[in-house]
Amino acid sequence: MLSSSSAAVPLAPRLSRRCARAVHWVVVPNAATAAAPDPAAVDAAARILRRARSVLFVTGAGISADSGLPTYRGVGGLYESDATEEGLPIEVLLSGETFRRRPATTWKYLGAIERACRGARPNRAHEAIAALEGALPRVVVLTQNIDGLHRAAGSRDVIEIHGDVHRLACTRCAFRARVPDYEGFEMPPRCPECAALVRPEVVLFGEMLPDEAVARLEEELRRGFDAVFSIGTTSVFPYVAAPVRMARVWGAGTVEVNPGETEVSGIVDVRLRCGAAAAMDALLSSVERSPVG
Ligand SMILES: [Zn+2]
């Protein structure tokens, strides 16, 4: 099951960075997250994990739904309809274009997103992934979530492909900061060094994915993995589905954790059709009964 780098290299994609048009912030329906996982599927997933020395976890909003984070359409009701106070779709208000022209408007909605994330704690799924990083030689997380919960759970090797709302950067100088929340901010916030506009290091609609994260992901895909887990994501973006598709080339086992049907449901080896916390809790218990390695 070890990855073959000679096979993987020609297929390592030059990932398109133009996929951010429809960035989902905290997406997917919060459905069936409490359902218990099928024991046979848990055992099959545990067998894949036990054989693996390197694992990639690809995660989306479904993993944070179990931390009480609102779903896409529930973020302060932002996405309930096309009608915002400004009379514009949310995708326009949260776009790089609007940020450049009307930063206060974009910041208003960024603030609403941050408030929705405030107080959320990592759940058993985040914790299980962090625990596995300590137990296996190589564990990488590729997440679309901007809530920072993987790092809060203790994961260190995390590719935040859409950024993190808690990281801020000046639009003019080199000032950067990590903040726990936006409490007490004067909106839109200004740089303490140069007074220019500050923004969160997240990918706004219509913006490119960050160079560093894309380069890192490409490098990891070149190396390949023994197992790929897709958790709580519909995998609509090519760079999210790519690792699952490449797993076949690497000879890697694939597991999907999602209550619903997704872009990759038809090609994974094992499906756990339930919420992330229940699935990863059951999986870790199964592996702990018969350790990894
Ligand atoms: Zn500055």
Instruction: Please give the distance, rounded to the nearest whole angstrom, from the Cα atom of residue 178 to the centre of ligand 1.
Output: 14
Catalytic positions, written as ranges: 162
CA atoms within 13 A on the CB side of 173: 9
Q: How many domains does the chain have?
A: 2
pLDDT the model gives residue 89? 83
At 190-203, the pLDDT tens digits run 999 999 999 999 99
Residues 27 and 59 in one domain: yes
The identity of residue 256, as a single letter, is: E
Residues 105 and 86 in one domain: yes
Cα 9 to the center of its chain, rounded Å = 25
pLDDT the model gives residue 81? 53
Q: Check which CATH number belongs to the domain holding 80 and give it.
A: 3.30.1600.10
pLDDT the model gives residue 53? 97
Instruction: Please give the distance, rounded to the nearest whole angstrom, from the Cα atom of residue 176 to the centre of ligand 1.
Output: 8
Residues 175 and 48 in one domain: no
CA distance 142 to 59: 6
CA dihedral of residues 74, 229, 268, 272 (deg, nearest 10): -60
CA distance 285 to 46: 9
Residue 153 structural domain: 5-68+121-162+205-293
Instruction: Please give the distance, rounded to the nearest whole angstrom, from the Cα atom of residue 172 to the centre of ligand 1.
Output: 5
Instruction: Please give the distance, rounded to the nearest whole angstrom, from the Cα atom of residue 283 to the centre of ligand 1.
Output: 46
At 240-287, the pLDDT tens digits run 999 999 998 999 999 999 999 999 999 999 999 999 999 999 999 998
CA distance 54 to 222: 13
User: Contact 264/290 with Cβ under 8 angstroms?
Assistant: no
At 118-175, the pLDDT tens digits run 888 999 999 999 999 999 999 999 999 999 999 999 999 999 999 999 999 999 999 9
Instruction: Please give the distance, rounded to the nearest whole angstrom, from the Cα atom of residue 124 to the centre of ligand 1.
Output: 38
Instruction: Please give the distance, rounded to the nearest whole angstrom, from the Cα atom of residue 118 to the centre of ligand 1.
Output: 26
CA distance 131 to 123: 12
Q: Check which CATH number belongs to the domain holding 153 and give it.
A: 3.40.50.1220
Residues 102 and 12 in one domain: no
Instruction: Please give the distance, rounded to the nearest whole angstrom, from the Cα atom of residue 115 to the centre of ligand 1.
Output: 24
Residues 283 and 171 in one domain: no
**Residue 119 Rama label (left phi>0; alpha psi -120 to 50; beta):** left
- Bridge partners (DSSP) of residue 200 are 168
pLDDT the model gives residue 292? 54
Residues 195 and 214 in one domain: no
- DSSP state letter for 73: G
Task: Note residues around ion ligand 1 (Cβ under 5 angstroms).
Answer: 170, 172-173, 175, 191, 193-194, 196
DSSP helix/strand/coil, 200 = strand
Tokens of 268: 């994974």
CA distance 178 to 151: 13
At 42-98, the pLDDT tens digits run 999 999 999 999 999 999 988 998 888 765 543 444 455 556 788 888 888 889 999
Mean pLDDT of 226-249: 93
